[in-house]
């Protein structure tokens, strides 16, 4: 029977059930092996909906008869403006002023995620067709670059993007995962933590992090989003001000060391579930939880219930300054763990550059984490960015990256 594959925009009313079925087939591994299943809580496009511009496409196999249709693949994408480099600008209007300041160089960047092709319809060019159609939309939106993230061991995905679609390996950040224990973590008395307003957080981020790679120009939209649970700044307990002085005063006379992070509530977007674990592994995990709950004062690390639907909080905007910044970051992560515990989350997750100076202060379990995630990038056209950095795909990595929580 002659069939044709049609790529079209996702229809949430009529496509939801079929899309969920394709997701299930793709994300649940073979029997006997551990795999991760993601449930988008009834909204397949939720993981890009909070971006400035977003789209979800499906690949539909159509037979000779109109009713012979089957969704066999899907892809999500979004477009935003981010920092791709920095330049130096004369500080002030007076030409005799020889001081310069560093300012960000922005570009329009597209992001591909959630590419799925049903196992029974792979090696038919459907993945490439979905990517090509999404890239057409990216260009229509004025995107200059497109990137995607994948596991470095996902050879099928790498073959598609690097061999057939023209992407190149670009950055290798680390995904750091900490389980949420049954006991609360103790925050050192030598650390004071401020919860600052979205407006103050925006001022702080723009002043200190706007030249960091991938910093979103619409950071204000992220910080005011209902999924953002707050931005927190840690300082030594001896800091002169008993209350938050405001970002302007704080940055004009900062303490010797400080750290900052924001918390994103991914639990409200989708849940995850570990499937295929053995009874022995499940039993050991359950035992650690029982002991932790019965004897919380022992502070025994326990494995949370990951074998049923669970949510997680994502930490972003991690940074700081000073010799003691790493210790302050560790305290902030402990605070974030306690917030996740109160909200019933299973994990706390952060993604940072492999060279990130704050990385040593982010607690994580190596077995749950990924030392080397892989981001691949492609230049879609001429570089029309606000300033010239050449071809971003060929630029060397910096110490830090700013990971947008909307794309996790």
The lowest-confidence range among 7-16, 78-87, 236-245, 378-387 is 378-387
pLDDT in the model for residue 94: 47
Output the CA–CA distances (angstroms, integers) from residue 292 to 223, 231, 274, 363, in the order listed.
34, 29, 21, 19
Cβ(174)–Cβ(360) under 8 Å?
no
Is residue 53 scored above 60 in pLDDT? yes
The end-to-end CA distance of the chain, in Å, is 40
Structural domains in the chain, CATH included, are 4-172+373-407 (3.40.630.30), 176-269+277-361 (3.40.630)
Q: Percentage of the chain with pLDDT > 70?
A: 91
Report the distance separating Cα 243 and Cα 299, nearest Å. 31
Report the distance separating Cα 91 and Cα 209, nearest Å. 18
pLDDT in tens, 196-232: 999 999 999 999 999 999 999 999 999 999 999 999 9
Q: How many residues are present in the chain?
A: 408
This prediction's pTM: 0.91
Both tokens assigned to 372: 């080397």
pLDDT in the model for residue 302: 87
Q: Rounded to the nearest 5°, which phi and psi values hold at 205?
A: -65, -45
300: three-class secondary structure by DSSP? coil
pLDDT in the model for residue 31: 39
Across the range 76-98, mean pLDDT stands at 77
pLDDT in tens, 342-386: 999 999 999 999 999 999 999 999 988 999 899 999 999 765 444
pLDDT in the model for residue 144: 96
Positive or negative: CA dihedral 104, 105, 108, 110: negative
């Amino acid at each position: 029977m002659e069939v044709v594959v049609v790529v079209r925009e996702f229809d949430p009313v009529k496509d939801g059930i079929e899309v969920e079925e394709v997701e299930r087939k793709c994300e649940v591994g073979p029997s006997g092996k551990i795999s991760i299943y993601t449930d988008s809580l009834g909204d397949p496009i939720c993981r890009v909906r909070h971006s400035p511009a977003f789209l979800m496409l499906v690949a539909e196999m159509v037979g000779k008869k109109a009713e012979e249709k089957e969704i066999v693949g899907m892809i999500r994408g979004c477009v935003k403006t981010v920092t791709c480099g920095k330049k130096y600008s004369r500080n002030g209007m007076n030409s005799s002023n020889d001081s310069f300041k560093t300012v960000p160089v922005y570009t329009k960047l597209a992001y591909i995620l959630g590419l799925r092709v049903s196992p029974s319809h792979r090696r038919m060019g459907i993945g490439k067709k979905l990517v090509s159609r999404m890239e057409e939309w990216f260009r229509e939106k004025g995107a200059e670059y497109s990137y995607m993230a994948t596991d470095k061991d996902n050879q099928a995905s790498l073959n598609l993007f690097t061999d057939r679609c023209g992407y190149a390996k670009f950055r290798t950040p680390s995904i750091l995962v900490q389980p949420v224990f049954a006991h609360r973590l103790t925050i050192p008395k030598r650390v004071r933590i401020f919860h600052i307003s979205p407006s103050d957080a925006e001022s702080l981020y723009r002043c200190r992090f706007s030249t960091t790679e991938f910093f979103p120009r619409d950071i204000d939209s992220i910080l005011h989003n209902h999924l953002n649970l707050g931005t927190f700044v840690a300082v030594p307990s001896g800091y002169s001000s008993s209350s938050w002085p405001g970002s302007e005063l704080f940055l004009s006379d900062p303490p010797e060391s400080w750290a900052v992070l924001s918390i994103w509530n991914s639990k409200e977007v989708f849940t995850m579930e570990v499937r295929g674990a053995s009874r022995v592994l499940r039993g050991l995990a359950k035992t650690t939880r029982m002991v932790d709950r019965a004897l919380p004062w022992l502070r025994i690390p326990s494995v949370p219930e990951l074998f049923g639907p669970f949510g997680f909080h994502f930490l972003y905007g991690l940074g700081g300054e000073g010799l003691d910044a790493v210790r302050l970051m560790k305290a902030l992560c402990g605070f974030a763990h306690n917030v996740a515990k109160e909200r019933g989350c299973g994990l706390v997750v952060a993604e940072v550059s492999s060279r990130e100076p704050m990385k040593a202060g982010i607690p994580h379990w190596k077995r749950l984490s990924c030392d080397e995630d892989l981001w691949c990038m492609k230049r879609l056209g001429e570089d029309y960015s606000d300033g010239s950095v050449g071809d971003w795909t060929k630029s060397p990595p910096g110490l830090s990256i700013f990971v947008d929580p909307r794309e996790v």
